[in-house]
């Protein structure tokens, strides 16, 4: 078998780290468990970067290695799969299947976009509709699959205006990826971040607190990205022409009804989804955990009497591979924290007042924004970066919650290459519809990457402190 340059470099890096850790004189102050943890962490990271092996397989192998070497006990590894955040995601996917089955999301999107009378209005109304889907569908790939029929209907209705179709093809995945930070269930990476924060610091971030911090950033980032996509993919002449989209035009290209009164199933689904979201947002009042609320909603959504989806059909939509990946990487996070390996790894960085908090956060945001060029999996990026960011933040006197949130939000940018994220790949090749090229992606990313990074940094330094997340560690 012939190794590529990237695979060879990753293998050499992993073996070098393991060799250094194996020498007794190296890594002073690091325990045996810490050495083993770092060796497993390095091998897993390099495998994620440099091999085509499935990410979940690598994560499970790393978790198993930590158990076999005695760094973790088996209860810790298997217990992560029963974590409340995992159950929250499972139930959220059942709810999403109920929404998708009724066509409610497509009806809502059609209602918004048919109100547009100009290209800019169309772009921002579409953006608003896509941001709202973060509450109904967990994970960016699920939202992309749900939004694709809406895009196809818009593309065919605007068939003669090719550049607008290309712009919309790029707008959909861009907004889906950047608006995921709106909710805790927006991406599996968020659940990994919350779990690692809890294990490392005892700080718990629930659905409501994440919503308070993430939704304003998601709205600002999504609409900023919409303007960037519009200006980088269209000319002034393309933006001048009026837009006249009717519900009938959208209906011609949609298999499910987008006009007329709600069907009984749609009405029940809308009521259920609204109730679940309201209960999630009001958690501080009633004190019912979000996972329990989601489980109640999932049971109602799949109930024989008033449900809109069969449970076995809904469970087929759950990404079990992602859940296993999350469970294994949560265990890795526990090992990095309990063995003090993460703290040792960043101990060489300047701490205390040597580095201003703004400079530390700027470095975290820059590294996290660029990380998708090396680690294509969003969850893998959080698994690698967040434990190190938290340890470094504690050493530098920076609030680990602010640092972890900034890292996770910045890592949501992954639109540079078609292979950088599943939604980008999905919309890059739509049969019968003109779409964007790698050059279009690069041109947009060159403008969008620094702008989104600057916006995340602005929120971490100026907005989140007003919402109860100070920059300095308490």
Q: pLDDT per residue over 384-433, tens digit each?
A: 888 888 888 888 888 999 999 999 999 888 888 777 778 888 888 777 78
- Identify the helix (H) or strand (E) that includes residue 211: helix 207-233
* pLDDT(229) > 50: yes
Domain holding 29, by residue range, is 1-71
The 10s digit of each residue's pLDDT in 30-83 is 778 888 888 888 888 888 877 778 888 888 888 898 888 888 888 888 888 877
103 dihedral zone (left: phi>0; alpha: psi -120 to 50; beta): left
Q: Which residue has the higher pLDDT, 113 or 322?
A: 322
Tell me if 142 sits within 8 A of 96, measured CB to CB. Answer: yes
Name the domain count of the chain: 2
Residues with Cβ within 8 Å of 2's Cβ and at least 6 positions away in sequence, in order, are none
At residue 373, the pLDDT reads: 80
Tell me if 124 sits within 8 A of 330, measured CB to CB. Answer: no
In a domain, 472, yes or no: no
Q: Are residues 79 and 41 located together in one domain of the fold? A: no
- Confidence band for 461, pLDDT divided at 50, 70 and 90: very high
Q: Are residues 53 and 86 located together in one domain of the fold? A: no
* pLDDT(114) > 80: no
Q: How far apart are CA 254 and CA 331, in angstroms?
A: 44
- Confidence band for 1, pLDDT divided at 50, 70 and 90: very low
Q: Are residues 203 and 324 located together in one domain of the fold? A: yes
Write down which residue in 38, 71, 104 finishes a domain. Answer: 71
Q: Are residues 36 and 76 located together in one domain of the fold? A: no
Q: Which residue has the higher pLDDT, 246 or 460?
A: 460
At residue 41, the pLDDT reads: 84
Tell me if 457 sits within 8 A of 407, measured CB to CB. Answer: no
* pLDDT(237) > 90: no
Write down which residue in 50, 71, 92 finishes a domain. Answer: 71
Give one DSSP letter per residue of 48-59, joined into a string.
HHH--S-HHHHH
At residue 2, the pLDDT reads: 46
**Dihedral sign for Cα atoms in the order 347, 353, 359, 364:** positive
Q: How many CB atoms lie within 10 A of CB 196?
A: 28
* pLDDT(224) > 90: yes
In a domain, 155, yes or no: yes
At residue 414, the pLDDT reads: 84
Write down which residue in 71, 105, 123 finishes a domain. Answer: 71
At residue 401, the pLDDT reads: 92
Tell me if 108 sits within 8 A of 132, measured CB to CB. Answer: yes
Q: Which residue has the higher pLDDT, 5 or 266?
A: 266
Q: Which of 185-194, 260-269, 326-335 has the lowest mean pLDDT?
A: 260-269
At residue 14, the pLDDT reads: 55
Q: Are residues 244 and 314 located together in one domain of the fold? A: yes
* pLDDT(26) > 60: no
Q: Are residues 282 and 418 located together in one domain of the fold? A: yes
- Confidence band for 8, pLDDT divided at 50, 70 and 90: low
In a domain, 474, yes or no: no
Cα 426 to the center of its chain, rounded Å:
16
Q: Are residues 145 and 6 located together in one domain of the fold? A: no
Q: Are residues 66 and 81 located together in one domain of the fold? A: no
- Confidence band for 375, pLDDT divided at 50, 70 and 90: confident
Is residue 28 classed exposed, middle or buried when 0-12, 13-18 and 19+ CB atoms within 10 A define those classes?
A: exposed
Q: Are residues 48 and 117 located together in one domain of the fold? A: no
**Averaged confidence pLDDT in the chain:** 81
Give one DSSP letter per residue of 341-392, joined into a string.
HHHHHTTTS--GGGS-HHHHHHHHHHHHHHGGGT---HHHHHHHHHHHHHHH
Q: Which of 63-77, 290-304, 338-352 has the lowest mean pLDDT?
A: 338-352
Q: Which residue has the higher pLDDT, 333 or 345?
A: 333
At residue 5, the pLDDT reads: 52
Q: Are residues 77 and 60 located together in one domain of the fold? A: no
The DSSP bridge partners found for residue 472 are: 398
In a domain, 237, yes or no: yes
* pLDDT(4) > 60: no
The 10s digit of each residue's pLDDT in 141-150 is 878 877 777 7
At residue 221, the pLDDT reads: 94
The 10s digit of each residue's pLDDT in 395-404 is 888 899 999 9
* pLDDT(19) > 60: no
Q: Are residues 43 and 54 located together in one domain of the fold? A: yes
In a domain, 460, yes or no: yes
Q: Are residues 341 and 395 located together in one domain of the fold? A: yes
Q: Which residue has the tokens 């109860």?
A: 468
């Amino acid at each position: 078998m012939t190794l590529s340059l990237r695979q060879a470099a990753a293998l050499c890096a992993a073996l070098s780290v393991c060799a250094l850790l194996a020498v007794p004189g190296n890594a002073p102050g690091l325990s045996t468990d810490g050495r083993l943890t770092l060796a497993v962490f390095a091998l897993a990271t390099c495998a994620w970067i440099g091999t085509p092996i499935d990410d979940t397989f690598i994560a499970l192998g790393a978790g198993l290695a930590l158990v076999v070497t005695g760094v973790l006990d088996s209860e810790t590894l298997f217990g992560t799969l029963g974590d409340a955040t995992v159950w929250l995601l499972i139930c959220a996917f059942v709810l999403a299947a109920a929404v998708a089955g009724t066509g409610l999301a497509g009806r809502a999107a059609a209602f918004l976009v048919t109100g547009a009378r100009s290209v800019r209005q169309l772009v921002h109304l579409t953006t608003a509709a896509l941001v709202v889907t973060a509450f109904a569908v967990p994970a960016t790939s699920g939202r992309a699959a749900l939004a694709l029929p809406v895009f196809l209907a818009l593309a065919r209705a605007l068939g003669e205006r090719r550049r607008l179709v290309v712009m919309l093809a790029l707008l959909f995945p861009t907004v889906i990826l950047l608006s995921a930070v709106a909710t805790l269930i927006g991406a599996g990476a968020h659940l990994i971040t919350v779990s690692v924060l809890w294990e490392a610091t005892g700080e718990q971030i629930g659905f409501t607190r994440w919503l308070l911090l993430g939704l304003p950033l998601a709205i600002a980032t999504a609409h900023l990205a919409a303007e960037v996509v519009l200006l980088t993919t269209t000319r002034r002449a393309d933006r001048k022409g009026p837009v006249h989209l009717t519900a009938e035009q959208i209906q011609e290209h949609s298999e499910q009804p987008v006009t007329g009164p709600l069907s009984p199933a749609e009405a029940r689904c809308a009521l259920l989804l609204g109730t679940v979201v309201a209960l999630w947002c009001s958690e501080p009042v009633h004190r019912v955990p979000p996972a329990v609320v989601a489980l109640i909603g999932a049971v109602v959504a799949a109930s024989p009497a008033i449900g809109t989806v069969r449970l076995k059909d809904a469970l087929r939509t759950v990404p079990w591979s992602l859940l296993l990946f999350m469970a294994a990487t949560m265990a890795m996070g526990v090992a990095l924290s309990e063995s003090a390996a993460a703290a040792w790894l960043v101990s060489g960085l300047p701490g205390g007042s040597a580095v201003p908090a703004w400079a530390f956060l700027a470095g975290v945001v820059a590294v996290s924004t660029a990380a998708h060029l090396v680690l294509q999996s969003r969850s893998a990026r959080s698994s690698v970066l967040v434990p190190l960011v938290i340890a470094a933040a504690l050493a530098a006197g920076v609030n680990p919650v602010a640092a972890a949130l900034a890292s996770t939000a910045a890592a949501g940018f992954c639109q540079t290459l078609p292979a950088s994220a599943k939604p980008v790949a999905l919309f890059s090749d739509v049969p019968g519809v003109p779409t964007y090229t790698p050059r279009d992606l690069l041109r947009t990313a060159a403008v969008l990457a620094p702008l989104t990074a600057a916006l995340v940094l602005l929120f971490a330094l100026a907005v989140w402190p007003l919402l109860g997340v100070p920059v300095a560690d308490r």
